[in-house]
């Protein structure tokens, strides 16, 4: 994988496209920006929300035994002691002594040789590799690094009424602990039996020091977490099932599956039984989108130990008691947005030798599902407004009456609107509209009173 700090030319093109069209802006731009922060603009916010809805549909709504939670970002500090984050949530880093660039050691090695498999190396092995192979700094090409230093990724803040009476609390670095500490609550209030799952969409914060390749690695991001609680012994079957469910999610939202791959972890954390990522081939290299992990009974055992609250589950049929195993599958929302944009952004050659910019994404994800375009402002605006009122009750609808119709089609193509509805004299005289398809550019004549049904079928997820 390329060092994540190196943004390829085509990433720059995408960054520019996102900025010009209102998908993503640099965070705090008027102050010169804050590294690794980005703001979602009007179209980006819609795309992000549509991805959340798609995830909800795929992971939660279509599963009888899955429930969504909205837990707090700030949690009792003991949570992070129990989870191991206070002592163990760190990245091994080295600095280039010549140009002072800082790198995550595993990324540095994988960039140097994509076949090196740094993920499977211990820290000592990574340091030995750097020295023996004379790994060079991607920035200044020197081979002169500091020893590995550990850097805790959690953002710490203080809570308290007076300055000298405060406690340290943390911005959560992952959502999962919210699900774990509510396991007993959800079990009781939903009257569930194992296996069942708790999912959550929410912000997480990590003090990432390596540069981020646009929104791939940011210090504030959203995760769509899914935690299965199950009987020990049934975990590996669930693990395989969720590896596939996660893969199917990306296929279902229209990502080109030939650019996806599974990456099984060779080096497992001591409590885990199995772990696998789904990666996408970004312009800067393969990057993780999702992680599926068999976490055994580690998390609930730890919370039992630190909170003193029993996490034992009693099987209602056999009366057997055990601490449930957890199989998680987490989708990174910001990386799903990025992957959707990278995958969908296309500059297409046309027959007349010109090109068109088009965002070929699943209609369900499109920020606007449909655009209403009066052919002539003077004659068709009034009826177009009525059509807008009708459609906007059902779909996210755009309205554009400026410029010639060809230019307006192009503008909608560029932001991924799958259908344009043109209102003209035929609409006034015959109650029909022209519906133009973004991808094929073909036009259908549709009766006004059948338009909502026509579009609903085409947009289905």
How do strand 370-374 and strand 419-423 relate by DSSP bridges?
A: parallel
Minimum distance from CB of 419 to ligand ATP (Å)? 31
Pick the closer one to ligand ATP by CB: 181 or 455. Answer: 181
d(CA 21, CA 147): 44
Burial of 122 from C-beta contacts in 10 A (0-12 / 13-18 / 19+): exposed
Pick the closer one to ligand ATP by CB: 175 or 434. Answer: 175
d(CA 348, CA 439): 10
Pick the closer one to ligand ATP by CB: 175 or 398. Answer: 175
Minimum distance from CB of 158 to ligand ATP (Å)? 23
Minimum distance from CB of 246 to ligand ATP (Å)? 10
Minimum distance from CB of 222 to ligand ATP (Å)? 8
d(CA 331, CA 279): 11
Residue nearest to ligand ATP (CB): 332
Minimum distance from CB of 241 to ligand ATP (Å)? 18
Residues engaged in binding ligand ATP (CB under 6 A): 174, 206, 208, 217-218, 221, 223, 288-291, 330, 332, 334-335
Pick the closer one to ligand ATP by CB: 289 or 341. Answer: 289
Pick the closer one to ligand ATP by CB: 7 or 451. Answer: 7
Minimum distance from CB of 136 to ligand ATP (Å)? 23
Pick the closer one to ligand ATP by CB: 15 or 455. Answer: 15
Pick the closer one to ligand ATP by CB: 208 or 235. Answer: 208
Minimum distance from CB of 269 to ligand ATP (Å)? 11
Minimum distance from CB of 363 to ligand ATP (Å)? 24
The alpha carbon torsion through 304, 309, 315, 316 (nearest 10 deg) reads -170
Pick the closer one to ligand ATP by CB: 11 or 358. Answer: 11
Pick the closer one to ligand ATP by CB: 181 or 278. Answer: 278
Minimum distance from CB of 24 to ligand ATP (Å)? 13
């Amino acid at each position: 994988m390329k060092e994540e700090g190196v943004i390829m030319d085509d990433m720059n093109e995408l960054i520019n496209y996102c900025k010009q069209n209102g998908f993503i802006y640099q965070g705090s731009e008027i102050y010169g920006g804050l590294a690794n922060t980005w703001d979602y603009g009007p179209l980006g916010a819609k795309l992000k929300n549509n991805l959340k809805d798609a995830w909800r549909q795929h992971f939660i709504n279509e599963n009888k035994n899955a429930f969504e939670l909205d837990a707090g970002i700030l949690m009792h500090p003991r949570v992070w002691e129990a989870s191991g984050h206070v002592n163990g949530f760190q990245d091994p880093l080295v600095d280039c002594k010549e140009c002072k660039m800082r790198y995550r050691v595993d990324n540095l090695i994988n960039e140097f040789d994509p076949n090196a498999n740094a993920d499977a190396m211990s820290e000592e092995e990574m340091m030995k590799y750097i020295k023996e192979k004379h790994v060079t700094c991607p920035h200044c090409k020197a081979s002169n690094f500091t020893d590995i230093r550990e850097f805790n990724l959690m953002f710490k803040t203080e809570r308290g009424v007076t300055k000298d009476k405060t406690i340290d609390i943390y911005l959560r670095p992952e959502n999962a602990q919210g699900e774990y500490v509510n396991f007993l609550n959800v079990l009781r209030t939903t009257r569930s039996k194992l296996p069942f799952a708790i999912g959550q969409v929410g912000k997480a914060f990590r003090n990432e020091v390596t540069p981020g390749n646009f929104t791939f690695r940011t210090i504030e991001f959203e995760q769509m977490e899914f935690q299965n609680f199950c009987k020990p012994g049934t975990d590996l079957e669930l693990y395989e099932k969720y590896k596939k469910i996660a893969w199917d999610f990306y296929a279902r939202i229209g990502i080109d599956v030939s650019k996806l791959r599974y990456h099984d972890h060779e080096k497992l954390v001591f409590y885990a039984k199995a772990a696998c990522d789904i990666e996408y081939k970004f312009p800067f290299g393969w990057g993780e989108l999702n992680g599926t992990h068999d976490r055994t009974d580690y998390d609930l055992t730890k919370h039992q130990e630190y909170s003193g609250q029993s996490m034992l589950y009693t099987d209602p049929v056999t009366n057997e008691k055990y601490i449930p195993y957890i199989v998680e599958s987490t989708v990174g929302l910001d990386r799903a947005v990025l992957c959707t944009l990278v995958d969908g952004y296309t500059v297409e050659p046309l027959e007349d030798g010109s090109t068109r910019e088009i965002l070929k994404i699943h209609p369900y994800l499109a920020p606007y599902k449909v655009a209403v375009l009066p052919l002539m402002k003077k004659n068709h605006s009034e009826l177009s407004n009525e059509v807008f009122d009708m459609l906007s009750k059902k779909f996210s609808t755009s309205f554009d009456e400026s410029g010639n119709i060809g230019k307006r089609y192009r503008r909608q193509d560029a932001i991924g609107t799958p259908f344009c509805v043109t209102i003209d004299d035929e609409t006034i005289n015959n109650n029909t509209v022209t519906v133009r398809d973004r991808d094929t550019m073909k036009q259908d004549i549709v009766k006004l009173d059948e338009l909502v049904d026509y579009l609903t079928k085409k947009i289905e997820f």
